[in-house]
């Protein structure tokens, strides 16, 4: 019996030692891969912070943050695939058949998931060409909102009502970016036909000058009021159009404040803002009316 156990341990011990060695190497592969991803993420974050300190342009800072996030994602995928191949090699799986099968499967998946592949290619060029950044206000696929996230797979928007839209990159045919560089706050004043247009234009200039003296809004206005003049003669109203060049993201607040001040000025100057109304005429000779 003693000789049997001695023979058994002599046969089993090498396999145990080899299995233990394989387990240790697999553990080290996992630990090293995790640490490598962690160190690369830290390096990317430090580089991002260093670049953001050098850039004074807020849009450039947003672009660096978006590219940094995508780069961290790509690094994680690449290191994970590398670690997975090493783990398969450690347990004795030959990589050549696996890579060959992966090529065939990848080809089949490529035909079946063309939209997914297109998502990634379109997302890459969206980031490379700097079309969309986190924090921009854009119009994509008929939806307008604030860009909360840009990935290689989709763009996430949140509109004014708080609704969130996930738009696959493959569906993006065009992008209207409303917050790139500068923009114009466009105001249409609606006045009655009986009003003096020159006086209306003068009042609009007065409102613009008072708005530029307001410290809350003056820092966002980049130029004097640009008067387009009479823009449309409608059935019962005259449209007088003007615009203010301003910081792109602030154009809506400036537009609302301008229209509010313009309403106060029109009331003060007795300038009529027409509204739909109905005049009822009765015929005394007809008792039914």
* Residue 117 lies inside a defined structural domain of this protein: no
Statement to judge: residues 7 and 54 lie in one domain = yes
69-121 residue pLDDT tens: 778 877 888 888 888 877 777 776 666 665 665 565 555 555 555 677 777 77
pLDDT of residue 274: 83
* Residue 274 lies inside a defined structural domain of this protein: no
> The domain containing residue 166 runs over which residues?
132-177
Q: Which CATH number is 168's domain given?
A: 2.30.30.60
Stretch 251-259: mean pLDDT: 92
- 161 CB contacts (<8 Å, ≥6 apart)? none
Q: Which CATH number is 12's domain given?
A: 1.10.287.1260
The C-alpha atoms of residue 69 and residue 167 are separated, in whole angstroms, by 18
pLDDT mean across residues, the chain: 80
Statement to judge: residues 164 and 193 lie in one domain = no
113-143 residue pLDDT tens: 567 777 777 877 787 777 888 888 999 888 9
Statement to judge: residues 142 and 69 lie in one domain = no
- Residue 183 reports pLDDT greater than 80: yes
Statement to judge: residues 170 and 230 lie in one domain = no
Statement to judge: residues 16 and 93 lie in one domain = yes
Max avg pLDDT among 16-25, 94-103, 126-135, 223-232? 223-232
For the chain, strand residue ranges (E) read 137-140, 143-150, 154-158, 164-168, 175-177, 182-191, 226-233, 238-247
* Residue 169 lies inside a defined structural domain of this protein: yes
* Residue 122 lies inside a defined structural domain of this protein: no
* β-bridge pairing 154-158 and 164-168: antiparallel
Q: Which CATH number is 202's domain given?
A: 3.30.70.100
3 state SS of 134: coil
| DSSP code per residue over 171-215 | G---EEESSSSEEEEEEEEEE-TTS-HHHHHHHHHHHHHHHHH-H
Statement to judge: residues 224 and 142 lie in one domain = no
The C-alpha atoms of residue 150 and residue 182 are separated, in whole angstroms, by 22
* Residue 282 lies inside a defined structural domain of this protein: no
Q: Domain count of the chain? A: 3
Statement to judge: residues 8 and 50 lie in one domain = yes
Residue 242 φ/ψ, nearest 5 degrees: -150, 165
CA angle centred on 281, ends 278 and 286, rounded to 5°: 145
Statement to judge: residues 51 and 99 lie in one domain = yes
pLDDT of residue 44: 83
Please say whether the beta carbons of 231 and 241 come within 8 A.
Answer: yes
The owner of tokens 């009042």 is: 203
The owner of tokens 């249409």 is: 188
The C-alpha atoms of residue 265 and residue 241 are separated, in whole angstroms, by 16
Stretch 279-287: mean pLDDT: 65
* Residue 279 lies inside a defined structural domain of this protein: no
The C-alpha atoms of residue 123 and residue 155 are separated, in whole angstroms, by 8
Residues in the chain: 289
* Residue 203 lies inside a defined structural domain of this protein: yes
The owner of tokens 């966002």 is: 220
Surface-to-core class of residue 191, CB atoms within 10 Å of its CB (0-12 exposed, 13-18 middle, 19+ buried): buried
* Residue 124 lies inside a defined structural domain of this protein: no
């Amino acid at each position: 019996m003693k000789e049997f156990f001695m023979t058994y341990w002599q046969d089993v011990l090498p396999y145990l030692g080899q299995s233990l060695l394989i387990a240790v190497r697999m553990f080290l592969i996992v630990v090293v891969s995790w640490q490598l991803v962690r160190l690369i993420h830290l390096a990317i974050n430090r580089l991002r912070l260093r670049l953001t300190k050098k850039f004074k342009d807020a849009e450039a800072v947003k672009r660096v943050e978006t590219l940094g996030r995508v780069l961290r994602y790509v690094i994680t995928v690449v290191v994970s695939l590398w670690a997975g191949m090493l783990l398969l090699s450690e347990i004795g799986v030959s990589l050549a058949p696996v890579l060959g099968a992966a090529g065939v499967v990848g080809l089949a998946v490529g035909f079946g998931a063309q939209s997914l592949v297109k998502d990634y290619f379109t997302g890459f060029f969206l980031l490379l060409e700097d079309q969309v950044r986190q924090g921009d206000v854009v119009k994509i696929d008929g939806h307008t909102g604030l860009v909360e996230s840009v990935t290689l797979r989709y763009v996430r928007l949140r509109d004014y009502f708080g609704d969130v839209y996930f738009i696959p990159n493959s569906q993006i045919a065009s992008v209207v970016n409303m917050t790139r560089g500068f923009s114009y706050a466009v105001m249409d004043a609606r006045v009655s036909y009986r009003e003096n247009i020159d006086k209306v234009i003068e009042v609009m200039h007065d409102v613009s000058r008072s708005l530029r003296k307001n410290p809350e809004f003056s820092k966002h206005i980049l130029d004097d009021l640009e008067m387009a003049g009479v823009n449309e003669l409608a059935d019962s109203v005259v449209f007088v159009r003007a615009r203010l060049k301003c910081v792109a993201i602030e154009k809506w607040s400036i537009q609302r404040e301008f229209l509010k001040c313009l309403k106060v000025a029109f009331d003060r100057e007795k300038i009529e803002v027409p509204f739909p109304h109905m005049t009822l005429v009765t015929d005394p000779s007809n008792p039914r009316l």
